[in-house]
């Protein structure tokens, strides 16, 4: 073990801030992260074994136990459940002989579930280690497992043509892009990255900031912060160095537009980062890529190399004296790492705990230096704005929401996939566009967004002051159990809470239990009051945006579809609360005895 650990440490200069990369390499080597390795890492990184575990145990994809030769992570997002998840999960258990959360008796297959893996347009989907398989059926599962047993690797099965992983064709062989409507900003093969960089890198950074400000471009990651202002604040912070980070964590269930942008237009994204670097005087850039997108890594690295070979990245870009390079930081499975301050912690090799603010990352970000974090789509838009001009861009969309927005459409519709829309179109317009005929509800912006009633909200407009969508749009027709969807979303937040603050860690579990009461038909009218008041407490007192939004699936669904939350008045003659399960309560004594007997034996 020793020599391989030493060479992994050497690869990253024994730098504690690169712990996520180190842990990935250890897991790739041993299949999990063994105690011996942790001890050795601790001494090589001048820390303790428990400190290493503190970081590793935060991330869903890091394992502390052996998990079979292959580990299969089946996506359990609500969309998958609408598209055949049940049959696929049964087939997986039958074929592998493993149960979820365990390994089969021969130690070949570890089976796990995981939240949305960014493939809602082609669910059911799963990861086999780092390789994705989409549009699963029980038959496909039988085939995949049989071939793995026969010794084929996941790569060989997913990519029968044997294409190199650096090639776009490889990525396309694994995953469809499903772009159904391109628009003026994205997916135009005409964006000439070299020309844009030649035009702008020679200019004064103030001019870039001015152009970004004049275009009135706002961040596409969710918060809608002005891009020009973010760059200016970052530039004006006093420091010897600065960083630009591209947020490619794309963890919000239902979104996959960043996946498609990185597949079809990586150069447009990287050029946007380079422009931001010139504007903010940054010398290093990081793309924080979620682990679910490992299959894109080699391809993206090849694209970065292409830019370097052409003198568009690296030292002295285009002979203009600008040094800027980009590296890819892989995540390891944590929705919270999409929050920019948690993302920065993760880049520093730590748990993805959101920082207290202030200070904001533009003042003190990565390694304590001013850092501009923007979403993938934001950077791609920047390149287009710089190519065609701020006033051209400002003319698109509405007055308060300029430009276009990529929508990731999934659920009950004829054509799930990517649509570029101009801000200002209505919900009904989009529903017609995607072929959603019998839509009842739309979950806009993922679980952290809001539930809309097509009947009540169809006329509303996509714009920052009304439907300010982060890209995710899941459609549910009249056959769906919306309360079940709400429960799923709450379970997501319970699983993904970082746990550092009381309201989110504790309160989301309480909300989940309450939803269970409604689903079991045991709720009382006061339970509705509790949902509202507890939800409000969690939203107001939580430390970060996760707790700030986690009660929204309940609160917004309750607002639009109050009839789903059936609560019977408690009959006066009944002495027990409907939520009190006396069978369960009376069995506690027996269960405690059984547990004690087991302990004694």
Partner 1 sequence: MIKLVIDGKPVEAEEGANLVEAAGENGVYIPTLCYLKGEPCIGTCRVCSVRVNGNVTAACSVTVDDGMEVDVDEPEVADMRRALVEALFAEGNHNCPSCEKSGRCELQAVGYETGMVVSRFPYRYPPRDRDVGARHLWLERDRCIFCQRCVEHIRDRTSGHKIFSINGRGSRARIEIDVELADQMPPEQVREAMDICPVGCILEKRVGFDVPMGQRKFEVQTHRERATEGTSNE
Q: Which residues bind partner 1 (CB under 8 A)?
A: 47-48, 50-51, 53-54, 57-59, 334, 351, 356, 494-503, 505-507, 509-510, 513, 530, 534, 537, 540-543
Work out the angle at residue 72's Cα, subtended by the Cα atoms of residues 68 and 76, and round it to the nearest 5 degrees.
145
* Distance of closest approach, residue 64 Cβ to partner 1, in angstroms: 9
- Binding range to ligand FMN, per CB under 6 A, among 23-31, 152-160, 249-257, 325-333: 249-257
- Binding range to ligand SF4, per CB under 6 A, among 369-377, 461-469, 537-545, 554-562: 537-545
Q: Which is nearer to ligand SF4, 117 or 336 (CB)?
A: 336
Cα–Cα distances in Å, from 228 out to 140, 204, 389? 48, 14, 14
Contact between 23 and ligand FMN by CB under 6 A: the answer reads no
Q: Is 546 helix (H, G, I), strand (E, B) or coil?
A: helix
Q: What is the CA radius of gyration of the chain?
A: 25
Interatomic CA distance for residues 271 and 380, integer angstroms? 8
Contact between 60 and ligand SF4 by CB under 6 A: the answer reads no
What is the crossing angle of helices 35-44 and 2-11, to 10°? 50
Interatomic CA distance for residues 275 and 244, integer angstroms? 10
Interatomic CA distance for residues 419 and 182, integer angstroms? 6
Phi and psi at 316, nearest 5°, equal 45, 60
* Distance of closest approach, residue 49 Cβ to ligand FMN, in angstroms: 30
**From the list 21, 40, 129, 249, which residue makes contact with ligand FMN (rule: CB under 6 A)?**
249
Binding partner at 351 among ligand FMN, ligand SF4, partner 1, none, C-beta below 5 to 8 Å by kind: partner 1
Interatomic CA distance for residues 97 and 28, integer angstroms? 23
**From the list 19, 116, 374, 482, which residue makes contact with ligand FMN (rule: CB under 6 A)?**
374
Binding partner at 540 among partner 1, ligand SF4, ligand FMN, none, C-beta below 5 to 8 Å by kind: partner 1
Q: Which residues contact 526 (CB under 8 A, 6 or more apart)?
A: none
Residues 312-371 that bind ligand SF4 (CB under 6 A): 336, 354
Residue the block writes with tokens 């004690």: 596
Which of 26, 101, 96 is closest to 60 using CA atoms? Answer: 101
Contact between 447 and ligand FMN by CB under 6 A: the answer reads no
- Binding range to ligand SF4, per CB under 6 A, among 302-310, 454-462, 495-503, 512-520: 495-503
Interatomic CA distance for residues 566 and 479, integer angstroms? 18
Task: State both tokens at 540.
Answer: 């107001």
Contact between 311 and ligand FMN by CB under 6 A: the answer reads no
* Distance of closest approach, residue 497 Cβ to ligand SF4, in angstroms: 4
Sign of CA dihedral 132, 499, 53, 17: positive
Alpha helices by DSSP H, 256-330: 257-264, 266-280, 297-309
**From the list 164, 321, 499, 521, which residue makes contact with ligand SF4 (rule: CB under 6 A)?**
499
Q: Which is nearer to ligand FMN, 97 or 545 (CB)?
A: 545
Alpha helices by DSSP H, 348-389: 376-388
Residues 545-584 that bind ligand FMN (CB under 6 A): 545-546
Contact between 505 and ligand SF4 by CB under 6 A: the answer reads yes
**From the list 497, 539, 549, 557, which residue makes contact with ligand SF4 (rule: CB under 6 A)?**
497
Q: Which is nearer to ligand SF4, 500 or 517 (CB)?
A: 500
Cα–Cα distances in Å, from 377 out to 185, 272, 383, 470? 10, 10, 10, 10
* Distance of closest approach, residue 83 Cβ to ligand FMN, in angstroms: 23
Strand 439-444 and strand 450-453: pairing?
A: antiparallel
Question: Judged by CB under 6 A, how many residues of this single chain contact ligand FMN?
Answer: 22
Q: Which is nearer to partner 1, 356 or 568 (CB)?
A: 356
Positions that interact with ligand FMN (CB under 6 A): 219-223, 225, 247, 249-252, 336, 338-340, 373-375, 378, 544-546
Positions that interact with ligand SF4 (CB under 6 A): 336, 354, 497-501, 504-505, 542-544, 546-547
């Amino acid at each position: 073990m020793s020599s391989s650990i030493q060479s992994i440490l050497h690869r990253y200069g024994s730098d504690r801030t690169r712990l996520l990369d180190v842990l990935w390499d250890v897991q790739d080597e041993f299949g999990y992260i063994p105690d011996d390795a942790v001890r050795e890492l601790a001494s090589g990184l001048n820390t303790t074994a428990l400190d290493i575990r503190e970081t590793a145990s935060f991330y869903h994809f890091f394992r502390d136990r052996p998990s079979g030769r292959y580990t299969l992570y089946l996506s359990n997002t609500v969309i998958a459940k609408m598209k055949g998840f049940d049959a696929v999960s049964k087939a997986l258990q039958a074929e592998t002989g493993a149960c979820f959360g365990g390994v089969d008796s021969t130690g070949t297959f570890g089976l796990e579930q995981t939240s949305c893996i960014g493939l809602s347009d082609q669910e059911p989907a799963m990861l086999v280690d780092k390789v994705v398989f989409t549009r699963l059926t029980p038959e496909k599962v039988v085939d995949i497992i049989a071939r793995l047993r026969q010794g084929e690797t996941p790569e060989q099965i997913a990519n029968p043509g044997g294409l190199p992983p650096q090639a776009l064709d490889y990525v396309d062989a694994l995953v469809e892009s499903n772009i159904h409507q391109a628009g003026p900003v994205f997916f135009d093969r005409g964006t000439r990255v070299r020309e844009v960089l030649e035009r702008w890198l020679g200019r004064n950074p103030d001019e870039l900031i001015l152009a970004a400000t004049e275009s009135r471009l706002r961040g596409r990651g969710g918060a809608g912060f002005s891009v020009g202002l973010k760059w200016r604040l970052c530039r004006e912070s006093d420091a010897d160095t600065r960083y630009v980070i591209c947020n490619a964590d794309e963890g919000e269930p239902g979104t996959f537009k960043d996946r498609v942008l990185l597949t079809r237009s990586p150069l447009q994204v990287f050029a946007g980062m380079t422009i931001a670097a010139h504007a903010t005087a940054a010398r290093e850039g990081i793309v924080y890529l979620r682990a679910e997108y490992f299959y894109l890594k080699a391809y993206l690295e090849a694209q970065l190399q292409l830019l370097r070979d052409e003198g568009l990245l690296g030292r002295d870009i285009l002979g203009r004296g600008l040094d800027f390079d980009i590296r890819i930081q892989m995540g390891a499975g944590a929705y919270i790492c999409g929050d920019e301050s948690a993302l920065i912690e993760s880049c520093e090799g730590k748990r993805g705990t959101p920082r207290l603010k202030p200070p904001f990352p533009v003042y003190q970000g990565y390694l304590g230096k001013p850092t501009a974090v923007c979403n993938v789509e934001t950077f791609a838009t920047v390149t287009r704005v710089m190519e065609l001009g701020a006033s051209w861009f400002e003319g698109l969309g509405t007055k308060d929401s300029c430009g276009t927005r990529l929508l990731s459409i999934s659920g009950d519709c004829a054509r799930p996939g990517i649509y570029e829309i101009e801000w200002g179109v209505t919900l009904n317009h989009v529903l017609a566009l995607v072929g959603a005929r019998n839509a009842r509800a739309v979950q806009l912006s993922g679980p952290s967004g809001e539930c809309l009633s097509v009947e009540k909200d169809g006329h509303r407009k996509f714009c920052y002051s009304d439907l300010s969508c982060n890209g995710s749009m899941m459609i549910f027709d009249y056959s769906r159990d919306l309360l079940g969807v709400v429960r799923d979303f709450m379970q997501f937040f319970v699983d993904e809470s970082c746990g550092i603050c009381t309201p989110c860690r504790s309160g989301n579990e309480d909300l989940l239990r309450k939803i269970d009461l409604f689903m079991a038909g045991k709720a009382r009218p006061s339970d509705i009051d509790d949902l509202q008041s507890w939800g409000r407490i969690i939203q107001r007192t939580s430390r970060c945006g996760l707790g700030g939004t986690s009660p929204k699936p309940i609160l917004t669904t309750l607002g639009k579809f109050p009839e789903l939350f059936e609560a019977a008045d408690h009959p006066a003659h009944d002495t027990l609360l409907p939520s009190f399960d006396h069978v369960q309560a009376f069995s506690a004594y027996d269960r405690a005895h059984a547990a004690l007997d087991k302990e004694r034996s």
